Amino acid sequence: MVAKIYVEGAAQNSYRARTLCRQSFTKFFSKAGLEGKLPRIVPCGGRKRTYDNFKTAMKTRQADELPLLLVDSETAVKTGKTVWEHLKARPGDNWDKPEGAKDDQAFLMVQVMETWFLADCEALKSFFGQHLREAAFKKWPHLEDVPKESVYRALDQATAACGPKRYAKGDMSFSLLAETSPAKVEKASPAAKALFGCLRNL
C-alpha cells in the first residue's frame, strides 16, 4: 500500500514550486525513518483545490493506493473534534467527508505548516544565520495552541534583520521544511504524530 498525500501549497501555475514542494516534503518524511513507506506527495495549490483533488482521488484510487489529505487547520482544533468535524465546522470550508473516506485519511498542520518550524529552533538558526532574533520565538508550551497570526509574526520579527533571507511564504517555506527535524515536529505536534503514525502503520 502506497500513501498519496494531497497537500495544500505550491502555486499550480508554477512547475518549479510544485517540484520544490514535492521534493521538500519527501525529504522531510525521509528523515522520519519511513524506509519503504515513503508517501507520494501531490502538491495541490489552494486548500479548496486540495480538497477537490482528494475527493477525485477517492473515486479513482487504485487498490494499492491510500489517498490522504493534508491541509492547515487555520485555527485551533477543539478538543474531541475529529479532523473531518473540524473541516466541516470551520467557516470557509464546510467540507463533508467524501464517500468511502475514513477518519484517518485526513490530517492537519496545526495551525499552519509554519508551526512545525517553531518546533526546531536549531534548524531555524542554521537556515537563517547569525542575524536571526531568537527572542521573537516565545516559549509556547503548546505550539498547536498558537494562532497562525502569532506564528507568522514571530517568523517575520525573528528574520527582520536577515536581509534577503527574511521569511516569506512560498519557495522559502518548502526549503525550510526540508531542513526541519520530523522528530522534533512529532514531539511538539500531536496532529503531526498522528500523520506519522498512519504512515508507519501502512
Structurally, the chain folds into a number of domains equal to 1
43: β partners = 7
Please report whether residue 107 resides in a domain: yes
Rounded to the nearest integer, the mean pLDDT of the chain is: 96
Q: What is the DSSP letter of 9?
A: B
Tell me the C-alpha distance between 66 and 4, whole Å: 6
Please report whether residue 163 resides in a domain: no
Please report whether residue 156 resides in a domain: no
Please report whether residue 166 resides in a domain: no
CB atoms within 10 A of CB 153: 12
How many helices and strands, by DSSP H and E, does the chain display?
9, 4
Q: Which triple of cell numbers denotes residue 111?
A: 495551525
pTM: 0.96
Please report whether residue 33 resides in a domain: yes
Range of the domain at 49: 2-114+171-200
Q: How far apart are the first and last CA of the chain?
A: 6
What is the pLDDT at residue 165? 92
Please report whether residue 158 resides in a domain: no
What is the pLDDT at residue 182? 98
Q: Which residues contact 73 (CB under 8 A, 6 or more apart)?
A: 86, 90, 108, 109, 110, 111, 112, 191
What is the pLDDT at residue 127? 97
Range 102-121 average pLDDT: 97
Please report whether residue 125 resides in a domain: no
Please report whether residue 57 resides in a domain: yes
Q: Render pLDDT for 1-57 as a digit per residue (tens, 0 to 9).
A: 999 999 999 887 789 999 999 999 999 999 998 888 999 999 999 999 999 999 999
